[in-house]
Amino acid sequence: MLRLEGVTKSFGGKHAVDGVSLVVPTGQMVGVIGRSGAGKSTLLRMINRLGDPTSGRILFGDTDITALSGRPLRAWRARCAMIFQQFNLAGRLDVLTNVMMGRAFHLPATRALLKMWSDDEKAQALSALESLDMARMAGQRAETLSGGQQQRVAIARALIQQPDIVLADEPIASLDPRNTKVVMDALQHINRHLGITVICNLHSLDLARGYCDRLVGMAGGRVVFDDVPAALTEGTARELYGLEAGDVMGHAAPPPVPQPAVAQPGFALAGS
Ligand SMILES: Nc1ncnc2c1ncn2[C@@H]1O[C@H](COP(=O)(O)OP(=O)(O)OP(=O)(O)O)[C@@H](O)[C@H]1O
């Protein structure tokens, strides 16, 4: 379970995140919503410790994440994988090598670059790609793939870190509608089938409502809504997005079909 206690991040005198307290149970798919500048990215980055809170605490189980440094901090970053809008792949390297870079948290990156991985590690990377329907592209250069395919490689790279949590910061912002669905389906897949907690910043309210178990709405750095998607009224959406509300509503993705949690070979279910 991830717990945020009064987490604040200030830049100069301004609170980008302002006293956020949240409890996220293992296995939840959480959508963080709100207009540009609401503090969504800053919040996610603090969970991964890419940024340090000015005050407050972040705990995972009994571990105070905010107090970690050195090797324990690197270990936390491995357990708490990040997916970015721009994929952050090495375009000239093949897909499998990119996925193996996820092992750099556990092994020296040079081993991945020199392709010095064990059969077991290679099987794990292929299994991660397979679970996202990308294994057939393992030998292809990353830069030759579509945006949706590249983002699925980034998710596979996150998966071989064997994370408890995946933090996705606007993962579909650069994608067209078809690839948006492919990537959101992939995030839902790792949540439902591998039991990984997913916390996803999304600009589109309809996507957030279609895919997430819970929505956390932010405005001015504060949490102003925290409930199941069905509880989000148009009035609250307008409060969250103001004039943007018309843009963020109305691009509905078909509601995904809930599926039973089944462990995939090669990956431990979170918490097991
Ligand atoms: N490194 C920084 N230095 C100064 N101000 C920052 C920094 N990072 C973020 N901010 C400010 O903090 C506030 C929250 O930014 P943040 O990027 O977290 O919002 P967001 O909700 O993720 O927005 P977007 O959807 O546009 O990414 C903004 O006012 C932003 O300008």
Domains and CATH numbers, the chain: 2-248 (3.40.50.300)
Nearest residue (by CA) to ligand 1, atom 4, is: 11
Q: Model confidence at 114, in pLDDT bands (50, 70, 90)?
A: low
Nearest residue (by CA) to ligand 1, atom 11, is: 16
Find the 213 Cα to ligand 1 centroid distance in Å.
Answer: 25
Q: Decide: residue 111, CB within 10 A, 0-12 exposed, 13-18 middle, 19+ buried.
A: middle
* Candidate from 40, 84, 205, 224 with most ligand 1 atoms within 8 A of CB, to mutate: 40
Find the 186 Cα to ligand 1 centroid distance in Å.
Answer: 27
* Tokens of residue 97, six digits: 């090598």
Give the integer Cα–Cα distance in Å for 121 and 141: 20
Find the 215 Cα to ligand 1 centroid distance in Å.
Answer: 20
Segment 62-91 shows an average pLDDT of 92
Give the integer Cα–Cα distance in Å for 180 and 94: 23
pLDDT beyond 50 at 269: no
Q: Model confidence at 7, in pLDDT bands (50, 70, 90)?
A: very high
More confident residue, 169 or 256: 169
Query: What is the model's pLDDT at position 247?
Result: 57
Find the 118 Cα to ligand 1 centroid distance in Å.
Answer: 41
Q: Report yes or no: 262 and 249 within 8 Å, Cβ to Cβ.
A: no
Query: What is the model's pLDDT at position 236?
Result: 86
Amino acid at 180: T
**ipTM of the shown complex:** 0.96
Q: Report yes or no: 82 and 158 within 8 Å, Cβ to Cβ.
A: yes
Query: Helix 147-159 crosses helix 177-194 at what angle (to 10 degrees)?
Result: 20
pLDDT beyond 70 at 130: yes
Find the 224 Cα to ligand 1 centroid distance in Å.
Answer: 17
* Candidate from 9, 10, 11 with most ligand 1 atoms within 8 A of CB, to mutate: 11
Q: Is residue 251 helix, strand or coil? A: coil
Q: Torsion angle, CA of 128/129/131/133, rounded to 10 degrees?
A: 170
Query: What is the model's pLDDT at position 261?
Result: 42
Q: Is residue 8 helix, strand or coil? A: strand
Find the 37 Cα to ligand 1 centroid distance in Å.
Answer: 5
Segment 58-71 shows an average pLDDT of 95
pLDDT beyond 80 at 53: yes
Strand order across the beta sheet in which 2-11 lies: 14-24, 2-11, 55-60, 63-64
Segment 243-247 shows an average pLDDT of 56
Write out pLDDT tens, residues 159-186.
998 899 999 999 998 888 888 998 999 9
Segment 81-104 shows an average pLDDT of 90
Percentage of the chain beyond pLDDT 90 is 64
Find the 135 Cα to ligand 1 centroid distance in Å.
Answer: 36
pLDDT beyond 90 at 111: no
Buried b / exposed e over 139-154, threshold 16 CB at 10 Å, is eebbeebebbbbbbbb
Pick from 162, 199, 237: nearest CA to 4: 199
C-alpha angle 30-167-148 in degrees, rounded to nearest 5: 100
Segment 9-25 shows an average pLDDT of 96
Give the integer Cα–Cα distance in Å for 272 and 268: 7
Query: What is the model's pLDDT at position 46?
Result: 97
Query: What is the model's pLDDT at position 86?
Result: 87
Q: Report yes or no: 78 and 106 within 8 Å, Cβ to Cβ.
A: yes
pLDDT beyond 70 at 126: yes
Segment 206-210 shows an average pLDDT of 92
Give the integer Cα–Cα distance in Å for 137 and 31: 30
Place of tokens 């375009």: 91
Nearest residue (by CA) to ligand 1, atom 26, is: 36
Q: Is residue 37 helix, strand or coil? A: coil
The set of protein residues with a Cβ atom below 6 angstroms from ligand 1 is: 11, 16, 34, 36-42
* Tokens of residue 122, six digits: 């290679």
Q: Model confidence at 258, in pLDDT bands (50, 70, 90)?
A: very low
